[in-house]
Structure 1
Amino acid sequence: MSGSTMRAFVLTGPGEGSVQEVPVPVAAPGEVVVDVERVGVCGTDVELFTGELAYLHTGHSSYPLRPGHEWCGRVTQVGDGVDAAWLGRRVMGDTMLGDQECRPCRRGRQHVCEHRQEVGIRGDRPGALAEQLAVPAWSLHELPDPVDEVLGALVEPGGNAWRAAHAAEVEAGDRALVIGPGTIGLLTAMFLRAAGAEVHLLGVTEASLGFARELGFAGAWRRATLPDLPFDSVVDASTAAGSPALALDLVEPGGRLVCIGIAGTPSAVDTRTLLLKDVTAVGVLSGSPGLEPTIAAYASSAVDPRPLVAATVGLHRVAAVLAGERPEGAGPGPKVHVDPRLG
């Protein structure tokens, strides 16, 4: 960062992105500026890079844009009306920025506000793949000392997973199945395990299932090897269009089906089966309501997702990561982090 500009990764079109010098952010009234310390690369960022994200076709997002919504950092500037006590605090922030005026926002559901911005995704709100980031002060969550940079940048995806696990309503001794052993699926499995459930995972590749077993999930299966067991809850964390129907088939009568994965094409679910099995189905969009309990779980070590991070790279490697390149020396985990302070 030099004077009035800073380095940021900017997408300019499908498959086109580079590190650019952009103006440093200034804290508007009610906002803060954060020095970014760590950012997670997410599947949403990949879809922005490829041009496949639905928002690009509905007009909610457009190029050029700066991605990055799984972040943590330290507050270095506050705008008018913001308590100066925020200065120097380690924080992460909510991705979903509602207008604070509509009925959902007034009811604490800013993540479904029709007019929301999404940091690094929607509504021209620049993301965190940069040296600095400006966000509303009300969106901040302070990080306690036990939540380091790695964990801090895993709070946002963790909030999604916490909500999925919470929606499953498992009790000690219940059996749960998670379809899709990616970042969200593995995080969900960790929260389900912390709640006392016997957790199984269903996946496609032996590499992802083997990694799940390394995390202590012995019940990691392919479809052909999945044992005939009763599952009190099934969480679909995959992107396969047929997974919700499969989840409904696998869940026990009277059980719960949670959908947090999203496919690129519509998924068909037979509501007759849903009704006749008396299954409760829940959709999860955002981690917003789950950020505080996720921070608490990380701080207490009830859940430790650090092994999910395979590598940490600088901004200059972001385009390659978005294009699917695996960083040299990367571990087996599904997540790549970015440290904007690296060269």
Structure 2
Amino acid sequence: MRAFVLTGPGEGAVHEVPVPVAARGEVVVEVDRAGVCGTDVELFTGELSYLQTGHSSYPVRPGHEWCGRVTAVGDGVDPAWLGRRVTGDTMLGDRVCRRCRRGQQHVCEDRQEVGIRGDRPGALAEQLAVPVTSLHELPDSVDAALGALVEPGGNAWRAAQAAAVASGDRALVIGPGTIGLLTAMFLRAAGAEVHLLGVTAASLDFARGLGYADAWTRDTLPDLPFDAVVDASTAPGSPALALDLVEPAGRVVCIGIAGTPSTIDTRTLLLKDVTAVGVLSASPGLAPTIAAYRTGAVDPRPLVAATVGLGEVGAVLAGGRPPGSGAGPKVHVDPRLGS
């Protein structure tokens, strides 16, 4: 089958690789759609921290935002899974450690991460094999575009939950990229007044086009009390800015991650009596995200700027925009295109 393979920093191409076989407890999924994520870009550039720690190494087959249809099942798997439309958790714990037993497999020390960590091939391919325990079935109303947005949506759902907003509260999201805009959608669905803080005119104009009229730069941000601030950016100074901007007794949520250390003054954290929360993964948020997409409470399909084939993945990872792209921040891949 065809799969996109990274062989070194800045080096990637479509390769012919063996078709996956479902081991015991696993299924094989025919991929309908996969998203290109910032983590995939960091694998491409060589900047991902896992490459330095040894948790990831080249060659690697990326792709962890996906949906598809189950085409084969391994021993011990109910054949009723065959033909079902599914997506899956990125974080695959060892299922025996204390964290996994407590339902926290997403922080298992020995976890694999699909398409990222632990030599678990990803979904920028025609097929992939994953444990049946990681699957979430998709209803018919959640199409392929939405299905491949469940994983980033799960991260955003968790960030919005951590913000703990009530109807009428005011929230600020720093960074109007995919995760930031998804978080804004979940905050708005919870009844919050949502503001966005960004840098580029294009990203802020796109946010306004989604109905977020309160989209600002640092120079234009009004002096308002924010009950919660979500940092969804990659700027090392953003966590400190979030802490400065949040109301006393408010909440700061960190879901963006910088390439260099970020620092905050814990005296400010203490004296403002602020609750700070970090969000690593989508795992606990996948089911509620599917439910929100199913009901239409949140519809992130406008975020998808283009859908391309595997042969165009390298150009996208290098920062290119596919011809005819919309203004959204997300590019999807249909492995069947151009095959």
Q: Offset of 1:100 from its aligned partner?
A: 0.2
> Aligned Cα RMSD in Å?
0.3
1:114 and 2:93 matched: no
> Do structure 1's residue 162 and structure 2's residue 165 form an aligned pair?
no
Q: Deviations over 1:148-173 (max 9, x none)?
A: 00000000000000000000000000
**Secondary structure at 2:17 match in 1:** strand
Aligned to 2:236: 241
Residue in 2 aligned with 1:60? 55
2:302 matched to 1:312? no
1:9 aligns with 2:4: yes
Whole-angstrom distance in 2 between the partners of 1:176 and 1:104: 32
Partners of 2:99 and 2:195 lie apart in 1 by 35
The answer to whether the aligner puts 1:207 opposite 2:202 as a matched pair is yes
Partner residue of 1:46 out of 3, 24, 41: 41
Q: Name the residue aligned to 1:339.
A: 334
- Which SS does the other structure have where 1:52 is aligned? coil
Query: Which residue of the partner structure matches residue 173 of structure 1?
Result: 168
Q: Deviations over 1:103-158 (max 9, x none)?
A: 11001110000000000000000000100000000000000011000000000000
CA distance in 1, matches of 2:246, 2:306: 35
Percent sequence identity is 85
* Distance apart, 1:73 and its partner CA: 0.1
Report whether the alignment pairs 1:223 with 2:218.
yes
Q: Which amino acid aligns with 1:164?
A: A
Q: What runs of 5+ residues in structure 2 fail to find an aligned partner?
A: none
Structure 1 position 61, deviation (Å): 0.2
Letter in 1 for 2:317: L
What's the TM-score, normalizing by structure 1? 0.98
**Could you tell me which amino acid in structure 2 is paired with residue 167 of structure 1?**
A
Aligned AA (2:131):
P
Partner of residue 93 from structure 2, selected from 74, 98, 119: 98
State the one-letter code of the partner of 1:69: H
Q: CA deviation at 1:206?
A: 0.4
Equivalent in 276, 281, 284 of residue 286 of structure 1: 281
User: 1:264 is matched by which residue type in structure 2?
Assistant: G
User: How many pairs were matched up?
Assistant: 338
Is the partner of 1:141 in helix, strand or coil? Answer: strand
CA separation in 2, counterparts of 1:227 and 1:104?
43
> Any residues of structure 2 matched to 1:137-156 within 5 Å, and which?
137-156=132-151
Residue equivalent to 2:270: 275
Q: Who is 2:294 aligned against?
A: 299
1:31 corresponds, among 9, 26, 32, to: 26
Residue 327 of structure 1 deviates from its aligned partner by 0.3
* SS in structure 1 of the partner of residue 33 of structure 2: strand
Matched, 1:328 2:306: no
Output the CA distance in 1 between the equivalents of 2:237 and 2:251: 17
52, 56, 75: which is aligned to 2:70? 75
- TM-score of the superposition, structure 2-length normalised? 1.00
1:251 paired to 2:236? no
Q: In structure 1, list runs of 5 or more residues that go unmatched.
A: 1-5
Mapped partners of 1:145, 1:106: distance in 2:
32
